[in-house]
Structure 1
Amino acid sequence: MSDQIKSLFVLIQFLMQRLAVGAFIAAAVGLTAVTAVAAFGAMPWLQFSAEFNGVPYDNAGQIVQVTLTAVAVLLCFFIPMNGRIMRLETSHRRFELGMQDIARAYVAAHGADREGLFQLSSEFDAVRERLAYLRDHPDLGDLEPALLEVAAQMSFISKELAEVYSDEKVNRARAFLTQRQQEIEAFNTRLEKAKQVCQELHHWAHEVELEESVAASQLQRLRDDLRDILPEFGHEDVARADGTIVSLTEKAAE
């Protein structure tokens, strides 16, 4: 819808420009003719009186008529420049449309080249093969043959690019990257599980060390208590260097 509105606006602008040029030319010719006839006395001048700063001007109509005629004639000198500008705009618009059509045809040919539809290797045969494909394409039937030929030549020039980035290679690369991504996700999952197990083992080892420390402390207190109590019952303890009791001997009865 926006393209149709844009096209309608361009058409209206084109018609108004032509209408303005025609109006300027007609005004210049008409004013020049009327002024020339009035100068020879064949018809009266434009007549009205005006006053400026208290000074009356009875020939104000003649001055205005001559001034308008001069302005209209001077404006006609801009018409050739305006024509060149309009021709430049028209050619630029045609060039833009032509480039868009060429780009559209090139995209179609390049896509077919990436799919591996073209098999001929020599330049002449390869361009002709691409040109035949573009002519038979359902979306490109309204394009001019010259545009299709340019697009076919561009497609042949970029055939190495189409081979490097063919659909088969691109799909294979995507499948490889997808597989690598899945492997990385699986590795990250195993890594998270390993971290959890490591944290659990670390916590478990800390608890075991704490329990061992408590047990050793209780055992040492027990040894100290026994060391204080046994002599009262007539026994002596014989301990190793590490403090563990290895034997007990009964003292002689008094």
Structure 2
Amino acid sequence: MTAQLRSILFLIQSLLQRLAVAVFAATALILLLLTGMAAFGAAPWLELPVSIGGATYDQAGMYTQIAGTVLAVLLCVYLPSNARIMQLENSHRRFEIGMQDVARAYAIAHSADRENLFQLSSEFDAVRERLAYLRTHPELESLEPALLEIAAQMSHISRELADVYATDKVERARAFLKQRQEEVAQFNIRLEKAKALTTELRHWVHEVELEESVAASQLQRLQDELRTILPELGHEEILRADGTVIDIPRKAAE
């Protein structure tokens, strides 16, 4: 939409420029004829009464007409340079349009080349094959044959690039990357489960150690109580190396 609006504005600008050139040229020609005829007495001079400081200048119209004629002629001197500028702008415009058409045709040929539609290997046959494909393409019917030939040659030059980024190779690469991504996602899921299991086991070990510590503390307190109670009951205690208590009656010990 922006490109179309720009084209319309450029067309309007070109028409207005040509109209201005025509108006300037016609005005200069008319003024030159009138002034020449007035100089030879074939036509009257422009009457323009001018009064400055109470003084009236009767020939002010003639001077104004002559000055206007000279100015119009001087403006027409610049018309050839303006025409050259307009010609350069039009050439640049046509060049931009041509390059856009070539780029569009090349994109279509390169896309077909990536799909391995062209099989000929020699340069002449390969360019001719691409040119025939572009000529029959529905989107390129309005393009000139010279532009299509340039696009076909560009497509032939970039055939190695099209082979590297062929559609089937790109699809395989995408499938491989997708599979790797799924594997990474599954690994992250297993990793999160392993982290949760590790946290659970660590908590469980802590609880077991805490229970063992409580049991050992209770056993030690029980042993201390036995050491205090056994002598009062007439028994002696012998502690083994493993911590077991052996009760020996005092008389038997004697």
- TM superposition score category, shorter chain reference: over 0.9
SS in 2 for 1:139: helix
What is the one-letter code of the residue matched to 1:248? D
The root-mean-square deviation of aligned C-alpha atoms, in Å, is 1.9
Q: Deviations over 1:160-211 (max 9, x none)?
A: 0011110111111111111111111111111110001001000100111111
Q: Deviations over 1:40-67 (max 9, x none)?
A: 2322221222234565433222222122
Give, in angstroms, the shift of residue 11 of structure 1: 2.6
Partner of 1:248: 247
TM-score normalised to structure 1 length: 0.93
Partner of 2:151: 151
Partner of 1:239: 239
What is the one-letter code of the residue matched to 1:107? A
Partner of 2:168: 168
Asked if 1:41 is matched to 2:41, the reply is yes
Partner of 1:215: 215
Partner of 2:193: 193
How many positions carry a matched residue from both structures? 253
SS in 2 for 1:84: helix
Partner of 2:100: 100
SS in 2 for 1:182: helix
Percent of pairs with identical residues: 64
CA–CA distance in structure 1, aligned partners of residues 223 and 52 of structure 2: 133
CA–CA distance in structure 2, aligned partners of residues 78 and 53 of structure 1: 38
CA–CA distance in structure 2, aligned partners of residues 171 and 88 of structure 1: 46
Partner of 2:137: 137
Do the aligned partners of residues 213 and 53 (structure 1) sit closer, same or farther apart at CA in structure 2, a change above 3 Å counting?
farther
Q: Is the 8 A contact 1:237 1:245 kept in 2?
A: no
Give, in angstroms, the shift of residue 12 of structure 1: 2.2
SS in 2 for 1:64: helix
CA–CA distance in structure 1, aligned partners of residues 80 and 181 of structure 2: 66
What is the one-letter code of the residue matched to 1:63? Y
What is the one-letter code of the residue matched to 2:245? V
Partner of 2:228: 228
Listed as ranges, the gaps of 5+ residues in structure 2 are: none
Partner of 2:112: 112
